[in-house]
Each structure stands twice: as C-alpha cells, then as structure tokens.
Amino acid sequence: MPPTKSPSRKKTAKKAAKKTAKKKVAGKATKKKTSRSPSKKASKNGRSSKDSHQQADLFSRSSASDKKKSTSKKKVTSKKTPAKAKNSNTTKAEILAAKQKDISVSEFFAKNRHLLGFDSPARALLTTVREAIDNSLDACEEAEISPEIYLEVTAISEDQHKIMIRDNGPGIVKEQLPKIFGRLLYGSKFHARKQTRGQQGIGISAAGMYGTLTTGKPMTVISRISRRKPAIEVTLAIDMAKNQPVVKKEREVEVDWSHGTEVHIELEGTYKKGKHSIDACLEQVSLANPHVELTYINPVDEEPIIWNRVTKHLPEPPLEILPHPHGVELGILMQMMKETKSRTVSGFLCSEFCRVTPNVVKKVREETEALGKDVDTDRQPRRLSSADVKILHKAIENTKMMAPPTNCLSPIGEELMAKTLTRNFDPELVITVTRQPAVYRGNPFQVEAGIAYGGELPGDDLASIFRFANRVPLQYEQGACAITQSIVASPWRNYEVQQARGALPTGPLAVLVHIASVWVPFTSESKKAVAGYDEILKEMRLAIMEAGRKLATHLRKKRRLADAERKKDYIKKYIPQIGIALQDILDLSDQQRTGAESKLADVLERSRKM
C-alpha cells in the first residue's frame, strides 16, 4: 500500500513548482533581451547555457556602455563650460581688482555733501546764498564794475525754498554757462596766485547739484554779456557719474538789464533768523565789502533790506604772482624741473619763482657747497639727479630771500573798516589795524583787525566776533578757527577788558579779524574755519594786541576823566560847607568867605591835575 503524503509536504511541493515557473519566465525574458542587444558575440549554444553566464555577460555589456556614456558626457561638459574651469583658478586679488572703478568727483561730493556745507537744511540754504554772493562779487571786481546784487529767498514750503540772485557783472558767454554751473572743480581761480573769494571751482555748481538731489528740479541760469546781445537762459543739471553738465533747455529771453547773471536754485532748506542766518551773513558781507550795494528780500519780511555802499571806489585789483621758492615742496620742485623750458637751473629759478635774481642763485649755489655737494646751476634742470635736487631744495630753504610781493593782496583798509563798523554798530569808539604782509609756506597773507566798543553793544555779554577770509564771512566752527583762538589767547585784562580763562572777552565789544591771502588754509572744503598755522596765529595775535593797546589807552583816559569829574563834583559839593565853617570860626565876612572858597577850589583843582 503506497504511503500517504502529509499536508506539509504538499505545501512545499507547491512552493517548489511556483519557483520553477518563475525561473522559466525569467529565463525567457533574459533570452529576449539578449536577442535584442546589438552585440552578437554569444554562440548558438549560448541559448542553452546557464542563466548565470547570461546575466554576467549582460552586466559586463551594460557597464561598458555606461562607461562610454559617462566619458561622452565629460567631453561635452568640458567643451561647454571652459569659463567655469578658469573661474575656479581665479585668485581673490583678481576678483577684487575686477570690482575697482573710477569715482567721479560729483559722486563723491554727492555722498559727502557735509564737506561742502550741505550737512543740514539750514546750513544748505546759507551755503548756497554765500557761494552765489561770492561769485557775483568776484565777477564784478574782475570786470571793474561796482557791484549791485539783488537777492530774493522765497518759501515754497517750510523746508523748501527758492533762491534768486542777480548781479550786474560782465555776464558769462554761452559756451561756458554749462561748464561753470554744471561741473565740479571747474574754474579760473584754482591756479591763480592772487586773492580771490572762490578757490576750488566747487561752490555754486555744488549748490545746484544739491538742489537737484533734494527737489529733483534743475537750476536755471540767465546771463547777458552786452546790451547789443540777447540774454541766454540755460536749464541744466549735473551727470554725477561723469561730472558733466546736462542741458535740459536753452533759449534766448528778454530781460530789462544790460549785463549780468541771474541764478535760480530750488532746494531743500529751512530759513531762520539769528546768528547763523542769511540776514546775519549779508550784514557781515557789507562789513567786509564796503563797495557793494546789496538788496535783500527774505521770506518773512515784506520790506526789502538794503545795505548801501560806503565808498564808490573799488578795491585795488590784486595781481597774479609767481610762487615763492620758500613755499615749494620737494616733489613739486622735481615736477617743475621736468616740465620747465629753461635750459639752465639758474634760468629756471629766475623765471619760475618770484624774488629770485642771479645774485640769489649764486647764494643758493654757495649753500649747496656748504651742504656737501656743489650743484652746478648752469646744467639743464632735467639732468639733475634726485640727490642733487634734494640738496638744491635744502639750499633754497637755507638761503635768505625777500618776502613775496604783496600786490597780489587786496585788504579792506583801516579807513573803510572804520566806516563800516561805525555804520553797522554806531559805537563809542572804533579802532582798526592793518598789519604788514607776512608769509606762510611761501604764500603771502595780510591780517587786519577792528574793534568797535561801546554804543548800543551789550555790556554784559561775550564779545561779538566777526571772522573773514578774503572778505568772505565765516559763520560756523568758530571754536576750531585760528581767528577765535587768537582772540581768546590775547591778554584782554591788560587792556581793561574782563575775560575769563580760556574764554572770549566780556563787554560792549565787537571784534573783526580779516585774513587776505593768495591761498587761505581752510580746515575743510566748506570754508568754515581757518587752519592754525604758526605764522598766521602770530600775525592775528599781534594785530589784535595792537588794537587792544589802543583800546586800553582810550579806556584808561576815559577812566581818568571820570575820576576827575567825580573829584570835581566832590569839590563843588564840600567847598561851600568848608567856607561856612571857616566863616564861623574866623568870623569872616561873606565876601571873605567867597574868596576863601575860590582860593581853596583852585588849590584842590591844581593838585588834582598834578
């Protein structure tokens, strides 16, 4: 009898059958794949070979094809992205160098407007007016025209104003209008070695740039050079990336004045009165410029304010001079010797500098011998070595020379300073001093000082200070200015004026100090304060001390007269009482008493005068 199968054995048999069926299906699929593949290396008997050999062959072929694909991809990527391969080798220095670019002067000052005095709305309005006034005065004086200036400040809103200024100067030609008002560092005064108000060619164009930045509106300029020619109106702005003017509109217009220039600027600025206001600035302009006729309309008052000229005579026009050899630096001397057309060092020194003669050149050569090497002054300047130029520069410094000429300066003058101080303050006493010209770094300069005392000036306040540089008022940074430092350092107590330590003098006092120079050393581009060079501080202090001594003489005389009057009053008060007492004691008559009183009064009066 056959043995019966158990249920567990049946299950295992079924599972085995299923596995074999699956293997058959997988084998058929692999056979189809191998038959479809492009490679035909398998033999006819390969169909009946084992599955393991078929799978190994299939794996080797697929891996080979994958390698081919990967190599082809690498070739493609290497052809398409050569830049990436280069960037991967770029150094940080090269990356940083690619970011470097030029900076326009307009862009610089647009970001650093505080350097030019546009750091607040109130200062911006005042700076714009001051720069416009300076340009008008310079233009009129250079053309030898008595200046007449009309200024109007109109309020658009509380923090936005429009400035219109017109002068009777010579006008500006059409081609120069965009360059003068639409470019920074453009002008005729930077290289001129003579006294001028403007120096850098920045002021009025920077004011127009500030107006465009804050309001979006360009500036408008109208200029006329002759009655026979029409006036030209130009509306322009500044391309700050290139520091070039952008003319928005240009046309001919009708005006009722024969020659001059009119400027319109709308800007963000606040108007206020007080010490740092436009009104105070214009009053100081009239102090230092007695020849100007100034009409001013502010946003508050309806009636115009007019400062009449004190004199009809223009100041002496300053003449341009050559640089003084004591003020030239070594690098500048080397550059001048390379660019000179002179054939000898002697000719170069005599033609390129003032106060240099053949005798002076001879002394310079002797000084080079004393320094250890004889520099031949007959050689060509370009053939001197750097060591020779250094010795020559040192010899020039050691050689005594005349001070530079002073016809390049135009001081206010003692008489005109006294007239303007009297007009503006109506004081009890006016003292003015003009020092002899001096030199700093080869630049001639001259200091003037004026003191107004008494009158309506407040007696319990600190003295009022009026600082000027080339006739331009300085209203900000008073403590950082060499003028203020000189006033504080003066011994006012010796001049019968009260002064606390390290402070300004106290009393009914107004002190004016003016420095005139071919190049005023300002502490910044905004021209707010004068730098404290030792030579400048010395001259300022000497000018103030000279005026102070005259003030002390007046005050001491005034005090003596007051004491004499007081003693005289005592005599008048007590002599009659003494006469009555003598009459009672000596039994004098009225006539005798009167004679005794007169004799006693004469004796006391003579002793008082002694």
Mean pLDDT of the chain: 83
- Evaluate if residue 79 carries a pLDDT over 50: no
pLDDT given for residue 44 in this prediction: 41
Residue 608 near residue 564 (C-beta atoms within 8 A)? yes
* Amino acid at position 440, single letter: Y
pLDDT given for residue 577 in this prediction: 82
The mean-pLDDT minimum among 346-350, 543-547, 572-576 falls in 572-576
pLDDT given for residue 24 in this prediction: 58
pTM of the complete model beyond 0.85: no
Residues 410-427 have pLDDT tens digits of 999 999 999 999 998 999
- Evaluate if residue 375 carries a pLDDT over 60: yes
Q: Hey, do 325-398 and 414-556 end up sharing a CATH topology, with the first three levels equal?
A: no
pLDDT given for residue 120 in this prediction: 87
Nearest Cα residue to 333 out of 374, 384, 298, 276: 384
Q: What angle do CA 479, 481, 484 make, to 5 degrees?
A: 65
Annotated domain spans of the chain = 107-307, 325-398, 414-556, 559-609
Q: Name the percent of the chain lying above pLDDT 90.
A: 51
The yes/no answer on whether domain 107-307 falls in CATH 3.30.565.10 is yes
- State mean pLDDT over 257-275: 92
Domain 325-398 classification at class level? mainly alpha
Strand order in the sheet with 244-253: 244-253, 231-239, 219-224, 260-268, 160-167, 148-157, 293-297, 305-307
Q: How confident is the model at residue 50 (pLDDT cuts 50, 70, 90)?
A: very low
DSSP state of 457: S
What are the structure tokens assigned to 201, written together? 């060619």
- Evaluate if residue 29 carries a pLDDT over 80: no
Name the more confident of 126 and 87: 126
The mean-pLDDT minimum among 4-13, 171-180, 308-317, 371-380 falls in 4-13
Fold of 414-556: Ribosomal Protein S5; domain 2 (3.30.230)
pLDDT given for residue 54 in this prediction: 46
Nearest Cα residue to 547 out of 585, 511, 600: 511
Residue 400 near residue 364 (C-beta atoms within 8 A)? no
pLDDT given for residue 486 in this prediction: 95
Backbone angles phi, psi at 249, to 5 degrees: -155, 145
Backbone angles phi, psi at 338, to 5 degrees: -75, -35
Residues 198-210 have pLDDT tens digits of 766 688 899 999 9
- Evaluate if residue 46 carries a pLDDT over 50: no
pLDDT given for residue 58 in this prediction: 37
